[in-house]
Structure formats: C-alpha cells, structure tokens
Structure 1
Amino acid sequence: MPVDTELEHLPAALRWREWMGRIEAVIFAASEPVTREILARVVGKSCNIDLIIDDIRDELRGRPYELVSVAGAWQHRTRKNYADAIRAATGQGADSSAGRSLSQLENLVLMCIAYFQPITRAELSSFFGKEVSRDLIGVLRSQDFIASGPRSPTQGAPYTYVTTRTFMSHFGLNTLRDLPDFDALEDAGLLSKEKLLAGESPFGLLGGEDPSDGEPSGVEEIGQTE
C-alpha cells in the first residue's frame, strides 16, 4: 500500500510532527547513513528536510545519542561521552564496526589516500620511499575504508584508490573538508602531493624503520581531533 506522503488531511503542525517521526524512524532503522533521496520518499514535496533534521536534533539535546551528518547523509550515533559506559557494558566501543585497529603504517597510508584521492599504489609507495604492499591495501579494503577509483591517466592506466562512506562514517566526517587541519596543512605545504613525491615526507617514515603490522598506532587516527 502506497504511503501518503502529503498528509493533506492533517493540520500543518500535525503534518510536520508526522514527517519528523517518519524521518527519524527511517534513520534509526538504517544500518548506514541515510541520504536525502531516501528520506524524500516518506515526506511531502513541500517538506524541508533540513529543517526537519534541525528539529529532531533539538529534541535529542540531552539524550545519549544524536543525529549526525555523514558524507551528505544522516545517521544516529551514540554521543562520545558515553563510549566508556558502552565499552564497560559490552566490551565494545560506541562504534565497533570497523574491525581491528589499524597499525601506524596502515593509518598513514589511509591518511594519504584521504587527502590525495584518487591516488595509485605507486604514488603511495613514492610517498613512503618503499613499496606499499597489496596486502596493506587489502586490509583497508577489507574494512571498507577504501575502494577502487577511476583508472589513472598515467602509463598502464593503474587503478586508483578513494575513501568510502564507511570511512566518512567511522571518522565522523560529513565531507573531506572536515579532515583535521586540512587547510592549515595544505597552506603550509606539508600535504603537497608534489613535495611528497619528491621525498619531502611529513610522516617521518622515509628512511626509518617500518612499523610492524598489527602494532598499535603511534599517531592519532584520522578524524580524532579531541
């Protein structure tokens, strides 16, 4: 049976409340961020989804969960200050979907992909002065942090790599412009692709020892700004 999206039989205030309930229910039931296109299926043409989201967020103030923007979509998420309580009760963090923690090298490779996508494995290897293995790329793919991008216009047309919506969700990013200190690092030239390819790495791994796989990361993970 088709859903009545316009709800013209209801007074304006009740229509708005029903739209709010539908949108929150759809987001709550989803296992991944919900796009505007999906939400538009359950509300009327005159419904302003952004204002609905704002009203839902207002009602959730003081609750242990919130509505967050992720890669242009929306998702319910437990507030960070309840992570310790969740971990104590379940043995898991507030977001345990990403599998094991990344090693230092895996985290840094992911950082490079995030800032310079689409990027090839050969370019990543140039950044670090040593080969970035297919196995390492496989780890990032297995956690759905990266996916294949368009083929590079360079000789041989190798595949490039890009980050995914799972990456955005896991690190709490709405857009890639939310990456920590993006503008400052770019303005300072620390994340210049040309400089990195020339061997001017800010990561401190060129010529150094390789972090062992599985070793806890010695740097902050992408997106952790607190």
Structure 2
Amino acid sequence: MSEPTLIERAIEALLFAAAEPLSVEDLARRLPEGADVPWGLEALRQRSQGRGVELVQVAGRWRFQTAQDLAYLMTEEREEPRRLSKAAQETLAIIAYHQPVTRAEIEAVRGVQASKGTLDVLLELGLVRMRGRRRTPGRPVTYGTTDLFLEHYGLPSLGDLPGMAEMKAAGLLGLDLPPGFEVPDPSRPPLEEEDVLDFESAADDSPEFVQDYVGEEEER
C-alpha cells in the first residue's frame, strides 16, 4: 500500500472515531511526522463528494456528516433543537455580523432595549461568548460568536456568513427584520479587535459584569 493511500485511510479513521471535528494540527499530531495532512483531507473530501456521508470543514476543523439532501432521513434520530425567540434570532444575527459588539450597539441596531434574558439564552446555548471590554468609558462587555455557532450553521469561518436571504432560510432571522438592521459588506473583515480589551487586561479597573447578561425575563 502506498504512503499517500495509508495517510488518507488514517485520516479517515481518526475523523470517523472522533467525538468532535478535528483540525489539521489535531490530525498531524496523531500521524507520522511529515504526513501530508492537507493532501489527505482534500483526497478524502473529493472521494466523499456525492456520497451519503461527506467530509466538510466547519469552524476551521474537519468532520464527516450526512449529505444535506439526505438530512430528512435523520429526523427521527435527532433531538428537537431548542427554538430561539425572534428577539434571540435578531440578537444573534447582529452579534454575528457586527462582532465584537456591546449591548448598547445591539440596542442601537434593533431599535429596542436588549433583554438580558435573551443574551443569557445565547450564552447558555454556547452560540455566543463574552469577548472582552470596549476601550471606552465604563468598559462595556463585548459579545461575539463561538465555534459552536459555526458548527451549528455549517460555516467554515465567519467570512462565509450568508447574505440576507440565506440568513432567513437558516433561521438566523425571522421574516420581520429589526429596524435599522443591515448585512455589512462581506468584503469587510468581520472582527475589529483593536478597540477591545480581553478580560485579564481589563480586570484591574472593570466593574462586575454579571448583571450585564442575566436576571431579566426574555423579551416576548
């Protein structure tokens, strides 16, 4: 058996047995030194195209998953997903496209006060995380999406966020858009980090932030 074929088979075995998607680095650590992991992944991806189980990249990592056109066959074996409220859908979409974003900035886009309960739900589900604090008076907490968000919506990276129509189809937005909501130019870098402090660097002079995301009933 040739070396390339052996590497391809080894990658296939690792991905099949893995409990979560694996990165190129994860695979390289388990394979012989010098193994051409990108080649093996591309060979597997091409070989699996059009089959019932396909190799896909999500959040910069790789996994096997059921082909999208056959997903309906899995409905009886899959848990019913927790449905997000309209407020949570809008808030998640705003965070995804404008991150890192503060509560005040979310409110400015939606045109209504952001419910602490809504952010609490998104944090609990692991779709959103607290990124750091803005370099402005009060050091407001900023929010961003997580790798789980990318995995849930099948996105390789934030640069692959869909347009407005695709967002509605994916359940990221309801039919009625919040006032002032816009999808930014996809060519714009999705993250602007220069004005955000991580929590460690802001810890000395930052107030408690628990009240920023818990305690209120979710908007109806």
What TM-score comes out, normalization by structure 1 length?
Answer: 0.69
Please tell me whether residue 105 in structure 1 is matched to residue 93 in structure 2.
Answer: no
Paired amino acid for 2:93:
M
The aligned residue for residue 180 of structure 2 is 200
Alpha-carbon deviations, 1:136-171, whole Å to 9, x = none?
A: 011111111111102111211121111111100111
CA distance in 2, matches of 1:212, 1:149: 23
Aligned partner of residue 123 in structure 1, secondary structure:
helix
Aligned partner of residue 143 in structure 2, secondary structure:
strand
The aligned residue for residue 29 of structure 1 is 17
CA distance in 1, matches of 2:146, 2:159: 14
The aligned residue for residue 147 of structure 1 is 129
**Offset at residue 102 of structure 1 (A):** 1.5
CA distance in 2, matches of 1:148, 1:212: 20
- Of 116, 127, 131, the residue aligned with 1:134 is 116
CA distance in 2, matches of 1:55, 1:202: 39
Paired amino acid for 1:61:
Q
Structure 1, unmatched stretches of 5+, are 1-10, 183-198, 204-210, 214-226
**Offset at residue 34 of structure 1 (A):** 0.9
CA distance in 2, matches of 1:60, 1:28: 13
- Of 159, 162, 166, the residue aligned with 2:144 is 162
**Offset at residue 178 of structure 1 (A):** 0.8
CA distance in 2, matches of 1:18, 1:138: 47
Aligned partner of residue 139 in structure 2, secondary structure:
coil
The aligned residue for residue 26 of structure 2 is 38
| Shift in CA distance, 46/202, structure 1 to aligned 2, threshold 3 Å | closer
Please tell me whether residue 176 in structure 1 is matched to residue 158 in structure 2.
Answer: yes
| Shift in CA distance, 154/66, structure 1 to aligned 2, threshold 3 Å | same
The aligned residue for residue 35 of structure 2 is 47
Q: CA RMSD in A?
A: 2.3
Aligned partner of residue 112 in structure 1, secondary structure:
helix
**Offset at residue 116 of structure 1 (A):** 0.8
CA distance in 2, matches of 1:83, 1:200: 35
CA distance in 2, matches of 1:137, 1:24: 38
Aligned residues of 1:23 and 1:42 also touching (Cα < 8 A): no
Paired amino acid for 2:149:
F
Count of paired positions? 172
Structure 2, unmatched stretches of 5+, are 165-178, 184-217
The aligned residue for residue 116 of structure 1 is 98
Please tell me whether residue 74 in structure 1 is matched to residue 62 in structure 2.
Answer: yes
The 4+ residue runs of structure 1 with deviation greater than 4 A are none
Aligned residues of 2:22 and 2:62 also touching (Cα < 8 A): yes
Q: Percent identity?
A: 33
CA distance in 1, matches of 2:106, 2:20: 29
**Offset at residue 202 of structure 1 (A):** 4.7
Aligned residues of 1:119 and 1:160 also touching (Cα < 8 A): yes
**Offset at residue 212 of structure 1 (A):** 6.5
**Offset at residue 60 of structure 1 (A):** 1.8
CA distance in 1, matches of 2:64, 2:123: 24
**Offset at residue 117 of structure 1 (A):** 0.7
Higher relative contact order (CA 8 A, sep 6+): 2
What TM-score comes out, normalization by structure 2 length?
Answer: 0.70
| Shift in CA distance, 145/173, structure 1 to aligned 2, threshold 3 Å | same
**Offset at residue 74 of structure 1 (A):** 0.7
